[in-house]
Chains A and B, each alone.
Chain A
Amino acid sequence: MLNKFLVAVEGSAGSRRAVNHAIEHAKASNAELVLAHVIDWSPYSFHTPEELSARHKRREEELTRAKDIVLAPIMKLVEDAGVKSSAEVRHGKGAETLAEMAKEHEVAQIIAGRSGESGVSTMLFGTTSSKLVQISSVPVLIVP
């Protein structure tokens, strides 16, 4: 049951390197991958009433975009390599949410890129990867 790895996925090249590394790793140890993408979000933020009323719609759009644009190409890449995988998008704080997902899926380790290169990815990486190392209950592999 332990041969399951969680891979942090976002749109950057750094993340792509992590995915490639995870594929090799999974092949070698006959593991399957959980592709996880986190959309930065906090329940403790401030908004106007108008934003709140449109929030549900916005959330659906965010999830669709994450699945279609971020996860779909990665899933294809993993599938083409002949590795079994599942994918999940969640809202939350990068490191905390990844650590939670790792627990839920009972993965053996987390594989993440060291740093993203686009502006958006700094939300997930940068300080997030070091935070992940601190809070994760399973080993974390950071791919440079």
Chain B
Amino acid sequence: MTYRPFIAFSILFAALASPAFAGIDDTINSITAPIASLIGQIVFFKIPVFGAQLPLVVLWLVVGAVFFTFYMGFVSLRGFKHAIELVRGDYSNPNDAGEVSHFQALATAVSGTVGIGNIGGVAVAVTVGGPGATFWMILAGFLGMSTKFVECTLGVKYRQENPDGSVSGGPMYFMRDGLAAQGRAGLSKFMGTFYAVGIFIGALGIGNMFQSNQAYVQLNTVAGGALDGLGWLVGLILAGVVFSVIIGGIKSIAAVTEKVVPFMAVLYCVFAIIVILMNGAFIPAAIGNIFSGALTPEGVAGGALGALIIGFQRAVFSNEAGIGSASIAHSAVRTNEPVTEGYVSLLEPFIDTIVICTITALVIGTTQVAAPGFAGDATGVAMTSAAFERQISWFPYVLAIAALLFAFSTMISWSYYGLKGWTYLFGESTQTLYKLIFCAFVALGCMVQLGPILDISDALVFLICVPNILALYFLAPVVKREMNSYMERIKSGEIKKYKA
């Protein structure tokens, strides 16, 4: 019974694909490209500043992140040690054993954000914005830590318990209930709904098409182009696997992925560091380029501002600070102190952007110094792959597997985020429809080219952060009160460590 929708889905796809197998990718591409550029133009309304094109939404996110960094008194620095103590379980009450731990919430949120963006997105940033984009990316990661702190605290504070005993939380709930508590009833309803629509559509872009697209590109690269024009087939297989997990309920696939992904992430970092060390002689030059490129980039449209914009854009796309997705993942933690999840979550942009993205940027950066133009026309994940290949010839295969797993785990996480938006809007009864749409977009992602995909996903992501950041401004005083009260009780010894 469970598989009937999948059969119908496959037939539909086969029917779509039958007229011209090889031509289908081109056809889909030509249909989606104009739509993508239209969406891109609307959401990325750009203002020209000193010759650079500054998308309003990037400005929106950066201003937000800077504000929260100052408003929360640099919690990203002051709270860092406490965050690690929380994750280590120093403050966990043994009586709560068996509930979701801080570590589990963090690991789940991180495996949702560590995706192709960390491998491919960084390459895109470095190609377009020059090495200097890396500097701005790291800075954006640091600022994003405070945004995450605010949104994840609110996610826990305003989550709701469902009749079946499970919990739902995230921006749509803190907008609805948090803003309503401030007497903004009309606004709260509107924004909750706006966000829910945004996260549903966003789940199809950043958490779906971009991921499956880059997984296909990397597979095709290691296959030596043997999969050219077969994007529809790879897409269909990938969609089938996602389908089996989110609709078929085959938990074992998800369980295996959840365990393998952290392992792959560590493996990726270890090999990246090995490659960087093998390029050892070029490390100082690469780091020099990052700093000099940050302020005086060569050949980057818009100069320093151009590099800054691209760096910030890719950082947000990768660590999702300000998007509100992590807020959904963290809301599952049961705690009397919502602010503890805020502390834990500020580690995510750190791990994702400041550690993993920087490592990728250094792999590419040192290779660029050693062998300029090493990647030819390749960009995205293919470029990162080429940088690894220069030192470790077989690594692209490992990277292909890692990319596939990262893409897969990100898709599984995002299918849930999108689902929460969908059920907020339409209730629980229409879940299967949402999941079918989600699977269709997985397949679609493999058929279109990176450019339009990136435009669509970026555009959709930023669509979500407009209402999210706005709500964070309104609710930041609530978080600040919680944070101050919590810190006072830590200092006074009212909240104690359970472990010595």
Contact = CB atoms under 8 A, between A and B. Distances in A.
Interface string B307-341: 00000000000000000000011011110000000
A46 B111 contact: yes
A100 interface: yes
B255 to A, nearest CB: 8
Interface string A79-97: 0000000000011100001
B49 interface: no
Nearest to A41: B98
Contact of B164 (A57, A63, A91): A57
Interface stretch (A17-25, A48-56, A128-136): A48-56
Contacts of B165: 54, 56-57, 60
A49 B168 CA distance: 10
Given A41-B97, A52-B104, A47 B258 contact: yes
B192 interface: no
Contact of A49 (B112, B261, B262, B334): B112
Interface in B366-380: none
> Which applies to chain B's interface (DSSP): helix, strand, loop or mixed?
helix
B98 A49 contact: no
A59 interface: yes
A52 B332 contact: yes
Contacts of A43: 89, 92, 97, 101-104
A50 B416 contact: yes
A74 interface: no
A44 B103 contact: yes
Contacts of A39: 98
Nearest to A42: B101
B413 A48 contact: yes
Given A43-B89, A56-B334, A57-B165, A49 B108 contact: yes
B166 A46 contact: no
B94 interface: yes
A76 B168 CA distance: 40
B413 A49 contact: yes
Nearest to B409: A48
Nearest to A59: B98
A45 interface: yes
Contact of A52 (B108, B259, B412, B417): B108
Nearest to B412: A48
A33 B359 CA distance: 56
Interface in B239-287: 254-255, 258-259, 261-262
Interface residues of B, number: 37
A49 B329 CA distance: 6
A46 B259 contact: yes
A106 interface: no
B433 interface: no
Given A46-B258, A60-B165, A55 B100 contact: yes
B40 to A, nearest CB: 29
B245 to A, nearest CB: 9
B105 interface: yes
B99 interface: yes
B99 A55 contact: yes
Give the one of B92, B98, B99 with max A CB within 10 A.
B98
Given A41-B98, A55-B332, A47 B168 contact: no
A97 B94 CA distance: 10
A50 B162 CA distance: 13
Given A45-B104, A48-B412, A53 B167 contact: yes
Contacts of B58: none
A46 B104 contact: yes
Interface in A1-52: 39, 41, 43-50, 52
B208 to A, nearest CB: 15
Contact of B94 (A56, A59, A63, A100): A100
A87 to B, nearest CB: 16
B157 to A, nearest CB: 16
B107 interface: yes
A54 B166 contact: yes
B108 A53 contact: no
Interface string B166-197: 11100000000000000000000000000000
25 contacts: A43-B102, A44-B101, A44-B103, A46-B107, A46-B111, A46-B261, A47-B107, A47-B108, A47-B258, A49-B328, A49-B413, A52-B104, A53-B168, A55-B332, A56-B99, A56-B100, A57-B164, A57-B165, A62-B98, A63-B98, A90-B94, A91-B97, A91-B98, A92-B94, A100-B94
Given A43-B101, A56-B167, 5 more contacts: A43-B92, A48-B108, A50-B416, A52-B329, A90-B94
Interface of B: 89, 92, 94, 97-105, 107-108, 111-112, 164-168, 254-255, 258-259, 261-262, 328-329, 331-334, 412-413, 416-417
Interface of A: 39, 41, 43-50, 52-57, 59-60, 62-63, 90-92, 97, 100
- Nearest 4 pairs of A and B residues by beta carbon: A91-B98, A57-B165, A43-B101, A52-B332
